[in-house]
C-alpha cells in the first residue's frame, strides 16, 4: 500500500490502477490485490458507480470482474440497509448477541497485545495508517465479540474511529454480521486460518484450536481486561463571518464529491456538527484526512456548528444536500446519491439483493 493521497488526480489514478482479475484470486490474502479505494468511497469523494464504470471500460470477461463488482455491491447493500433501518443499526438487528460478558473493548485489542502476532501487527498498522485489511477486520471483530464476549457496539465504535474509511453502515453492520446479530451464524477463525492468509506460522495461541472447540471456549485470560472507548476530538476553529444567505451546497463527513454541481455558482460549505462527532468520534488522523480531501472542492468554507446554526444564516430554500442517513435532520433540497444499480430497498440478505442486482451489473 502506498498510503492514502488526497488530491483528486491521485485518487483517479488509483481507480485506474485496479486489477479485477488479480483481485478475484487474492483479495482474502494480506498481500492481495485489493483496491484501497474505501476511504474515498466512504468520504463520498468517489462513488461505487464511478468504480463500476471504470471496470466496464476495461472490457474484461465477467469471470474476471464479478468478485470486485460483488464486493462493491456489498457496500451499496449495507448503505441500503442503513437507509431503511436508520438508527436500528446501532442495536442488535435480527437477534441478540449471546453470550455477552461486557459492554467494553478488550484492553489487549486496544493495545495490540493479544499475543496473535499478525493481529497485533495489523492493529499497530491501523493506528499508523488508518487502514486494515477486510479479512483482518473480521478476525479482530471475531476476537472481540465471539472470543472475548464483548458486545459488538463499543469495539465497532473503536474501529470506526480509527479507519479512514469509517462508515457507520459498513462498519456496524459488518460487526453485527460477525457477532451473529445480523447473520445466521457467528464468524470465527482459528490460528491456522490467520497463518494461511497473513503469512504467519504461529502456534500455541488461544486461537490455535480446532473449530469445534470455539463453542465451549472460556474467555482467554489475556482478553478478560476491558476498557471503554477513549476518543477526544477537537474540531478546527472556523470563522463564519463570510457566509451569505445564498444558494449553498452542504458537504460533510460523508459527502466530499468534488464534481457535485461542478462549474456552477454556489456557496460551498463543509458542515462539521459537534453533536455528530461527539456521538461518533474519529481520530485526529481521520479528521485531518477528511479536511485534506475537502481541499479538492474549490472555495469550500468550513462551518463548525450544528445544522440549525447554519440554517440561521442560510435559509432552507437555499440549502442543498445529498441524501444520507446522517442528514435526516437537515432542511432544504435533498438530492440523490449515486448507486451502482436501480435495485434499492430493504432486502433481507445480501444474496437476495445480489441476485437481483447482478442481472443489471454483470454485463
Ligand atoms: C468488522 C468490519 C468492519 C468494517 N468497517 C468498514 C468501514 O467502516 N468502512 C468501510 O468502507 N468498509 C468497512 N468494512 C468492509 C471492508 O472491510 C472494507 O470496505 C474494505 O476492506 C476496504 O478496503 P479496500 O477498498 O481495499 O477494499 P476492496 O476489497 O478493494 O473492495 C473494493 C470496495 O468494495 C467495497 N467493499 C469491499 N468489501 C466490502 C465489505 N465486506 N463490506 C462492504 N463493502 C465492501 C468497499 O467500498 C471497497 O472499497 C468492514 C468490514 C468488517 C469485516
pLDDT 10s digits, 16-43: 999 999 999 999 999 999 999 999 999 9
Look at residue 25 in the predicted model and tell me its pLDDT: 96
Least confident stretch, 92-96, 229-233, 299-303: 229-233
CATH number corresponding to 91-227:
1.10.579.10
Check pLDDT > 90 for residue 241.
no
The rounded distance, in Å, linking the Cα atoms of 56 and 60 is 7
Look at residue 337 in the predicted model and tell me its pLDDT: 95
Look at residue 232 in the predicted model and tell me its pLDDT: 80
Check pLDDT > 80 for residue 350.
yes
Look at residue 46 in the predicted model and tell me its pLDDT: 98
Look at residue 233 in the predicted model and tell me its pLDDT: 87
Mean pLDDT on 104-122:
98
Check pLDDT > 70 for residue 153.
yes
- Which residue shows C-alpha cell 472556523? 238
Give 281-284 contacts, CB < 8 A, sequence gap 24+: 281/157, 281/161, 281/229, 281/231, 281/232, 281/233, 282/160, 282/161, 282/162, 282/166, 282/231, 282/233, 282/253, 283/130, 283/161, 283/162, 283/231, 284/233, 284/234
Residue 231 pLDDT level (bands cut at 50, 70, 90): confident
| Residue whose CB lies within 8 A of the most ligand 1 atoms, among 14, 27, 34, 38, for a mutation test | 38
Residue 98 pLDDT level (bands cut at 50, 70, 90): very high
Q: Is the CB of 138 under 6 A from ligand 1?
A: yes
Give me the numbers of helices (H) and strands (E) for the chain, helices first please.
15, 7
Look at residue 238 in the predicted model and tell me its pLDDT: 76
What does pTM read for this prediction? 0.98
Check pLDDT > 90 for residue 236.
no
- Cα 71 to middle of ligand 1, angstroms: 8
- Cα 87 to middle of ligand 1, angstroms: 21
Check pLDDT > 90 for residue 1.
no
Look at residue 95 in the predicted model and tell me its pLDDT: 96
Check pLDDT > 80 for residue 133.
yes
- Cα 93 to middle of ligand 1, angstroms: 20
- Cα 319 to middle of ligand 1, angstroms: 31
pLDDT digits (tens, 9 = 90+) for 316-334: 999 999 999 999 999 999 9
Domain 8-88+343-361: which CATH number of 1.10.10, 3.40.50, 2.40.50, 1.25.40? 1.25.40
Q: Is the CB of 78 under 6 A from ligand 1?
A: yes
Question: What is the residue-averaged pLDDT of the chain?
Answer: 96
Check pLDDT > 80 for residue 240.
no
- Which residue shows C-alpha cell 433481507? 348
Nearest CA owner, ligand 1 atom 12: 170
Mean pLDDT on 62-77:
97
Residue of 98, 140, 100 whose CA lies nearest to 119: 140
Check pLDDT > 80 for residue 62.
yes
Structure-block grid coordinates of residue 195: 497463518
Q: What percent of the chain has pLDDT over 70?
A: 99
pLDDT digits (tens, 9 = 90+) for 193-222: 999 999 999 999 999 999 999 989 999 999
Residue 237 pLDDT level (bands cut at 50, 70, 90): confident
Backbone phi and psi for residue 126, each to the nearest 5 degrees, phi listed first: -60, -45
Dihedral over alpha carbons 171, 174, 179, 181 (to 10 degrees)? 100
| Residue whose CB lies within 8 A of the most ligand 1 atoms, among 18, 71, 145, for a mutation test | 71
Amino acid at each position: 500500500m502506498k498510503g492514502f493521497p488526497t488530491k483528486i488526480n491521485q485518487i483517479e489514478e488509483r481507480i485506474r490502477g485496479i486489477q479485477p482479475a488479480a483481485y478475484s484470486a487474492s483479495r482474502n490474502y494480506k498481500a492481495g490485490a485489493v483496491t484501497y479505494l474505501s476511504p474515498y468511497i466512504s468520504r463520498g469523494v468517489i462513488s461505487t458507480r464511478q468504480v463500476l464504470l471504470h471496470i466496464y471500460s476495461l472490457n474484461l470477461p465477467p469471470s474476471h470482474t464479478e468478485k470486485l463488482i460483488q464486493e462493491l455491491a456489498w457496500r451499496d447493500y449495507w448503505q441500503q440497509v442503513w437507509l431503511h433501518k436508520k438508527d436500528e443499526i446501532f442495536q442488535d438487528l435480527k437477534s441478540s448477541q449471546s453470550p455477552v460478558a461486557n459492554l467494553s473493548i478488550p484492553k489487549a485489542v486496544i493495545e495490540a497485545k493479544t499475543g496473535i502476532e499478525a493481529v497485533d501487527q495489523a492493529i499497530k498498522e491501523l493506528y499508523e495508517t488508518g487502514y486494515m485489511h477486510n479479512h483482518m477486520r473480521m478476525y479482530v471483530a471475531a476476537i472481540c465479540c465471539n472470543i472475548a464476549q464483548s458486545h459488538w457496539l463499543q469495539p465497532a465504535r473503536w474501529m470506526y474511529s480509527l479507519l479512514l474509511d469509517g462508515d457507520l453502515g459498513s462498519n456496524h453492520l459488518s460487526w453485527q454480521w460477525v457477532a451473529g446479530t445480523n447473520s445466521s451464524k457467528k464468524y470465527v477463525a482459528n490460528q491456522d486460518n490467520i497463518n494461511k492468509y497473513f503469512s504467519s506460522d504461529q502456534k500455541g495461541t488461544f486461537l490455535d484450536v480446532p473449530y469445534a472447540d470455539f463453542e465451549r471456549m472460556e474467555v482467554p485470560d489475556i482478553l478478560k481486561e476491558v476498557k471503554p472507548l477513549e476518543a477526544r476530538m477537537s474540531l478546527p476553529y472556523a470563522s463564519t463571518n463570510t457566509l451569505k444567505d445564498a444558494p449553498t451546497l452542504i458537504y460533510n463527513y460523508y459527502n466530499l464529491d468534488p464534481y457535485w454541481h461542478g462549474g456552477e455558482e454556489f456557496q460551498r460549505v463543509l458542515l462539521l456538527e459537534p453533536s455528530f462527532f461527539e456521538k461518533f468520534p474519529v481520530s485526529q488522523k481521520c479528521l485531518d484526512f477528511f479536511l485534506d480531501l475537502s481541499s479538492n472542492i474549490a472555495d469550500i468554507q468550513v462551518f463548525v456548528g450544528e445544522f440549525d446554526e447554519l440554517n440561521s444564516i442560510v435559509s432552507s430554500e437555499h440549502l442543498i444536500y445529498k441524501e444520507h442517513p446522517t442528514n435526516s435532520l437537515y432542511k432544504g433540497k435533498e438530492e440523490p446519491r449515486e448507486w451502482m444499480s436501480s435495485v434499492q430497498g430493504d432486502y433481507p440478505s445480501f444474496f437476495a439483493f445480489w441476485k437481483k442486482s447482478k442481472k443489471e451489473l454483470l454485463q
